[in-house]
Amino acid sequence: MKVEVERIYSIRLKHKLKRYPRWQRSVKAVRYIRKFLSRHMKVDEENVKLDPSINLKIWERGIQNPPSKIRIRAVKFEDGVVEAELYRKE
């Protein structure tokens, strides 16, 4: 598969998640990241594949206290699939 677009996003979660009850925040964070990437990479939500490293980072401090922002590296392939992973400087 050929890479079409590769981008790095800093997604702010704090302002979106404070409106939800504490026991739903990490669940809503995962859904928001998927929605954010589908909107910015112009694909459907079911074509966004999240790496387990993103899930581990969000759930690191439990369901009530996800991180306030997260950096993600997203790669869009020419068949319309977006794969996202946690961004790490090399």
CA distance 3 to 62: 34
> What CATH number is attached to the domain comprising 73?
3.10.440.10
Q: Do residues 65 and 35 lie in contact, with contact meaning Cβ atoms separated by under 8 Å?
A: no
3-state secondary structure 51-78: CHHHHHHHCCCCCCCCCCEEEEEEEEEC
pLDDT value for 71: 97
> Model-level pTM?
0.92
Residue 29, Cβ density class (10 Å: 0-12 exposed, 13-18 middle, ≥19 buried):
buried
Domain that holds residue 44: 3-86
Number of domains present in the structure of the chain:
1
For 22-74, what is each residue's pLDDT tens digit? 999 999 999 999 999 999 999 999 999 999 999 999 999 999 999 999 999 99
Residue 3 has pLDDT above 90, yes or no: no
pLDDT value for 89: 80
